[in-house]
Structure 1
Amino acid sequence: MLRFMPVGDSMTIGSAGDHTWRYRLWQHLCRSYGGPFTLVGPREALYDKAADAPTSYAYADPDFPRAHLAGWGEGWLHMAPLIGEAVRAGRADVLLVSLGLIDLGFYTDAEQTAQNVRSFVAGARAGNARIRMVVLPVIPNIRAASEPAFAAEVARFNELLAKTVADLDEPRSPLLLASPPPSYDLRTDTYDGTHPGASGEHKIAAAFADAMHQAWDLGEPYAL
Structure 2
Amino acid sequence: MLRFMSVGDSMTIGSAGEHTWRYRLWQHLCATYAGPFTLVGPREALHDPATDTPTSYAYADPGFPRAHLAGWGEGWLHMAPLIRETVRTCRADVLLVSLGLIDLGFYTNAEQTADNVRAFVAEARAADPRVRMAVLPVIPNIRAEADPSFATEVTRFNDLLAKTVIDLDEPGSPLLLAAPPASYDIHTDTYDGTHPNASGEHKIAAAFADAMYAEWDLGGPYAGSS
Q: TM-score, normalised by structure 1?
A: 1.00
1:49-88 correspondence runs (5 A) = 49-88=49-88
The reply to whether residue 15 of structure 1 matches residue 15 of structure 2 is yes
Equivalent-residue separation in structure 1 for 2:97 and 2:186 (angstroms) = 21
Match of 1:82, SS state, is helix
2:47 match: secondary structure: strand
State the 1:127 CA deviation. 1.1
Partners of 2:215 and 2:19 lie apart in 1 by 27
Q: 1:219 aligns to what? A: 219
Q: Deviations over 1:184-210 (max 9, x none)?
A: 011110000000000000000000000
* Partner residue in 2 for 1:191: 191
* Cα distance between partner residues in 2 of 1:188 and 1:97: 23
Alpha-carbon distance in structure 2 between the residues aligned to 1:128 and 1:59: 31
Partner deviation per Cα, 1:164-223 (whole Å, 9 max, x = no partner): 000000001000000000000111100000000000000000000000000011011001
Structure 1 residue runs of 5 or longer lacking an equivalent are none
Q: What is the alpha-carbon distance in structure 2 between the residues aligned to residue 127 and residue 197 of structure 1?
A: 34
List aligned pairs for 1:1-224, cutoff 5 A.
1-223=1-223, 224=225
Q: Deviations over 1:10-31 (max 9, x none)?
A: 0000000010000000000000
Distance across 1 between alignment mates of 2:75 and 2:99:
5
Task: Name the aligned partner's letter for residue 97 of structure 2.
Answer: V
Instruction: Look up the equivalent residue of 2:215 and give its one-letter code.
Output: A
CA distance in structure 1 between the aligned counterparts of 2:133 and 2:93, rounded to whole angstroms = 8
What is the identity, as a one-letter code, of the residue corresponding to 1:208? F
Distance 1:47 1:21 in 2: 14
* 1-structure distance, mates of 2:102, 2:53: 17
Aligned-partner Cα distance in 2 for 1:198–1:94: 24
Instruction: Extract unaligned runs of 5+ from structure 2.
Output: none
Q: Which whole-Å CA distance do the structure 2 matches of 1:22 and 1:52 have between them? A: 21
1:99-137 C-alpha deviation (Å, 9 max, x unpaired) = 000000000000000000000000100111100000000
Give CA deviations for 1:58-78 in whole Å, capped at 9, x if unaligned: 000000000000000000000
What amino acid is the match of 2:61?
D
Q: Deviations over 1:1-45 (max 9, x none)?
A: 000000000000000001000000000000000000000000000
Q: 1:74 aligns to what SS in structure 2? A: coil
Whole-Å Cα distance in 1 between the matches of residues 127 and 29 of structure 2?
25
Amino acid at match of 1:170: E
Query: What are the superposed Cα offsets for residues 143-179 of structure 1, whole Å, 9 maximum, x if unpaired?
Result: 0011100000000000000000000000010000000
AA aligned to 1:78 is H
